[in-house]
Amino acid sequence: MLAISIEALIKIALLVGGLMTGAAYFVLLERWIAAWVQDRKGPNRVGIPLTKIKLFGLGQPLADGLKFIFKEEATPRHVDKVLFTLAPISILAAALAIYAVIPFGSVLPKDGVPGVDHQINLIVAPGIDVGMIYMFALSSIAVYGVILGGWASNSKYSLLGGLRSSAQLIAYELPMGLAIVGVVLMTGSMRLEEVIGVQASTGTWFAFSQPLGFVIFVVASFAEAARLPFDLPEAEQELVGGYHTEYAGMRLIMYLIAEFLHMITASFLIAILFLGGWHFWGITGGSSTDVTWFQAIARIVVLNVKIFAIIVFFMLARWSWPRFRFDQLMSLAWKVMLPLGLVNLVAVACLVEYQPVLESKLGSLGITAAMWAIAFVAWIAAGILAPLHSDNSARKDNFVLDAERRNRGLRPGIAGPSATGPY
Amino acid sequence: MTGIDNITLIASLLLGLGLWMLLPRGSSRGKAFGLVLTTAAMGLFAYKLFPLDDLVSDAVFYVMTAVTLVSAVGAVTMRSPVYCAIWFALTLLGTAGLFFFQGAQFLGVATIVVYAGAILVTFLFVLMLCNPEGDSLYDRLSFEAGISSITGALLVGLLTWTAAATVFGDAKAVAAKPAEGPAPIAFASSYEAQGKSILTDHHVERLGMELFTRHLLAVEVAGTLLLVALVGAVAIVAHSRPADELGPATEEGRRNA
């Protein structure tokens, strides 16, 4: 009992320490990438304190953190004080608690650690059979932080940010769930370590065998992490800072850390569910119980490299895409992502049900090709049936307004003839 | 006499009175006294249930129960609807914790996902549009405060008494009514004897197997019900007539038409 507790505490310490440091340095990385994309230098001055050594600006996160800690903890007079404090705490706690079921490596070798009589699994709570639903439960708790922060601030910017955010998070949870169900169907388990195990033992990552699910999951996790092009909850140009407009000091940094943790969580999940987790051909081996020390460490490195690559992708996407308009965001979720998720689900279910027949007729390569063909056709169909309108032509709702205008003898349409345009 | 025993009776009475005093009745007099009464009632209930076996599981159980009950009281006595919702969320978390404590992992997380994650968030979504400065009349007055507090106290009292009588061996109460061997329980125990208990390592797998074999009809009926509700909601919202036929919305428009 004591040994298990100590083991769990060591894992938690490693994970929380790593995540907090990671979040701090990812801020620096984000600023570097932003600077690189925009052809400027970015933070490169702060090095070791009290010396002139610059170290490419690696001291920046430390300086930022200290600045946040020493800032005044300003509480505006018009806020609801209890909820104002509770909101950032709840969002950070939920963001951290998700990592109880997320593996950060594979296993350590049997008898590899002196004084431990069982094989150490690199996951904080290895026995939880409902890992993925637990994850969903906690990400829905995180919505509370946003809603409560927006409401308790008693400010219009915050309220609008909170409203937008809750609508967005609720909308994109559905396609995300559908994409995950595809993975669960193929794996037969809701444990993330078993999801990796199946991908490693077959050598086929789920991104190859269900490309549609992969795309949906990536898009939905961008939305769930509120990253551009889905950062409407805190669109600076419209809402100042969104739901954390009124925050300062430690409570603000809790929100910021939680946002970065959401992005790191999303990267973990993309890597684990669709990109094979710790598996890489020729380096890590495929068994999830028999490992050498080399393989055990290689697996941790592989997983972290994948996560790092996905985070860099997140950051590059931020500076490559403009933000969606809110109606575009919603129609993408309900008219494109949700039907595509259903298509993916049906395809995977058929695949799982008729696996032996299909295997004998098409071969495993043929099955993968068929899944890609389905993905392609569904994607084209979605593009034709529910195109994303990026122009500013009047929406169909305006027909009501048009009828009214015609009745009043005015020219119909807000944007002129386009009111009868593409629709 | 197999009736309800004195401690539970007193505790229920105290709870009912305390709850009634705590509920919003237009004045805040007697709230502190109501709090004292409710706390005392909870203490009596806890005393009634106290002797479990293991100290750690005792502690976990009582902490979870306390969280659930206290936040449930908070959920009905707060004035601000947002606070009510938050307290209710805490109740759900406590309930989920109790499920986890019993080993029912799936029920625990499903409670959080469905109730705290979906339903309450929708509530909050609406509540956010209400005024954060001051409460309206229907927030300051609770309807049927007396009846609802009596009902709540009765429910908690009966449940506690039943739990104490059956689980913790209040010998007389059980012995007076010998169990007739109800069929479902016998079936369940035979199921466990076959090693098909769902509280295993592969908990979700077993639960799914149960749901889609033994309880298939119930699952299908529930699914159909939800589908009907969904279609109904869409039918209410969607106008099948084109907007042009609806006619002008304003008086001015009608005159011009």
Give the C-alpha separation, B101 to A211, whole Å: 39
Please state, in angstroms and rounded to a whole number, the distance separating the CA atoms of residues B141 and A87.
28
Of B121, B133, B250, the CB nearest to A140: B121
pLDDT of residue B92: 92
Q: Are the Cβ atoms of A133 and B113 closer than 8 angstroms?
A: yes
pLDDT score, position A334: 86
Q: What is the mean pLDDT of residues A59-79?
A: 83
CA of residue B249 relative to chain centroid, distance: 44
Chains A and B form CB pairs within 8 A to the count of 108
> Which residues of B fall below an 8 Å CB-CB distance to A?
82-83, 86, 89, 96, 105-106, 108-110, 112-113, 116-118, 121-122, 124-125, 127-128, 132-133, 201-205, 242-244, 246, 248-250, 252-253, 256-257
Mutation for testing the A interface, residue in B56, B57, B100, B105 having most A CBs under 10 Å: B105
* Bigger pLDDT: B23 vs A88: A88
What helix, strand, coil percent values describe chain A, rounded to 5? 70, 0, 30
Least confident of A45-54, A314-323, B198-207: B198-207
pLDDT digits over A111-122, tens only? Answer: 767 767 777 778
* CA-closest candidate to residue A129, choices B114, B101, B203: B203
Residues of A in contact with B109 (CB under 8 A): 130, 133-134, 136-137
- Distance (Å, whole) CA A215 – CA A270: 10
Cβ separation of A170 and B113 shorter than 8 Å?
Answer: no
Q: How far is B87 from chain A (nearest CA, A)?
A: 12
Q: How far apart are CA B110 and CA B120, in angstroms?
A: 14
**Which residue segments constitute the domains of chain B, with CATH numbers given?**
6-181 (1.20.120)
DSSP code of residue A410: P
Cβ contact B110–A166 (<8 Å): no
pLDDT in tens, A241-270: 778 888 887 888 888 888 889 899 999 999
The answer to whether A287 and A201 are in contact (CB under 8 A) is yes
Phi, psi of B29 (to 5 degrees): -75, 145
pTM above 0.90, yes or no: no
Q: What is the rounded CA–CA span in Å between residue A249 and residue A256?
A: 11
Put simply, the answer to whether B249 touches A404 (Cβ < 8 Å) is yes
pLDDT in tens, A83-136: 888 889 999 999 998 988 888 877 787 776 776 777 777 888 777 788 888 888
Residue of A82, A89, A154, A407 for testing the chain B interface, max B β-carbons within 10 Å: A407
Test A140 with B118 for CB contact under 8 angstroms: yes
Q: What is the pLDDT of residue B226?
A: 93
Q: Which residue of A has its CA nearest to B131?
A: A154
pLDDT score, position B52:
60
For B128, name the nearest residue in chain A, comparing CA atoms only: A151
Copy the structure tokens of residue B153. 């106290």
Q: Is A421's pLDDT higher than 60?
A: no
Cα distance from N-terminal residue to C-terminal residue, chain A: 66
